[in-house]
Amino acid sequence: MKGFKIGGSKSFSPPSVGKPDAPRPSSPTSPVTKPTTRPNSFKDAFDTQSARGVSGKPTQQPGKDVTPAFTSNPLNFTGHNVLNAYNMFPGSSPQGVALPTPSKPFVPANQSVVSLNVHQHQGNANLSVTPPGGPGAQAHYLHYLSSGAGRFAGIEGVPLRPRPGDPSMIVTGPLNGCAVHALHNTSNNTLSFVHHADFSKNGVAELKNFLAENPSLRLVGGFKPSDYSHATGVGRIETGATPFIHYNAHQGQWTMVGQLNDWKNGGGSGSRPELIRPQTVSAPWIHTLPIDPHQPVDLSTYR
């Protein structure tokens, strides 16, 4: 199986639970109808106006609550379930959570905390976030800014080793041309993470300029279109991905995880699409990348 080089010696590798021969999640046996293209309204966004609840109040998520199963063993869960991060906000943006802007791309990690919940429904494990302190697991939320508003949206000040009780997971929306970068802040020895819009267009040059404007940041890993985007043989559709980053206290290290996905159906009128595991792609379904702040990535190899 193909590996993707990250900074020379680094490479994404599929965990044993996520190999293509892992058990497939259960799903309806009805014929799969795939759109010829992904609806433009969804591109890399994960919140749409029509999907919001009344008066901005969070809506009840359908399906079985599987949040403990996901957060207690993220890699095992991801190897056996299709993650779906579309419409991650079931209501308006969670209160108490700071969001980045084009002029201020980073927000402090302690202002990005949300309550993460995962519900199993129609063969998908649907992620949703609500204000911090509510039901679910406390996690950092990494926002997305459309390419028309700004290329970079990030959080900063993530500790290399979170204290007990601190969030141990970072979630963001689905990728369909975007990238997620991990950065080491050498000025205070913390981590930053960025959701980079439309990386597939001119991402390396943009990232190089971004790092030049932030000289204390060093690139130490990422998940990009070259890692997850593969032709499915159906129209112009390519596989997308659901990324997240989690901290393993036993290993004392953050790990970036990316799960490839394909569309099954849906996605119209602001609804959450149904995703499936890619059926015709030989690349690994799950990719993992341990984040080592002492191993910066060579941008010349970052594609």
Residues 270 and 45 sit within 8 Å (Cβ to Cβ): no
Average pLDDT by stretches of 10, the chain with 303 residues: 30 39 32 48 48 47 94 97 90 82 95 96 95 95 85 96 96 95 98 95 94 97 96 84 96 97 80 91 95 94 90
Position 162 scores a pLDDT of 96
Distance of CA 248 to the CA centre of its chain: 17
Position 32 scores a pLDDT of 43
Quickly list DSSP for the chain: ----EETTTEE-B--GGGSTTSPPPP---SPP---SS--TTTTT----GGGSPGGGPPPPPPSEE-HHHHHHSHHHHHHHSEEE-TT--SSSSPTT----BTTB-EEEGGGSEEEEEEEEETTEEEEEEE-TTSSSEEEEE-----TTT-SEEEEEEEESSPPTTS--EEE---BSS-EEEEEEETTTTEEEEEEETTHHHHHHHHHHHHHHHSTTEEEEEEE-HHHH--B-SSTT-B-EEEEEEEEETTTTEEEEEEEEEEEEE---TTPPPEEE--SS--S-SEEEEE--TTS---GGG--
Identity of the amino acid at 32: V
Position 196 scores a pLDDT of 96
Cα–Cα distance for residue pair 266/124, rounded to 1 Å: 13
Position 234 scores a pLDDT of 76
Q: Which domain holds residue 289?
A: 5-301
Residues 290 and 255 sit within 8 Å (Cβ to Cβ): yes
Q: How many domains does the chain have?
A: 1
Identity of the amino acid at 263: W
Collapsing DSSP states into helix, strand and coil, what is residue 72?
A: helix
Position 28 scores a pLDDT of 32
Residues 213 and 191 sit within 8 Å (Cβ to Cβ): no
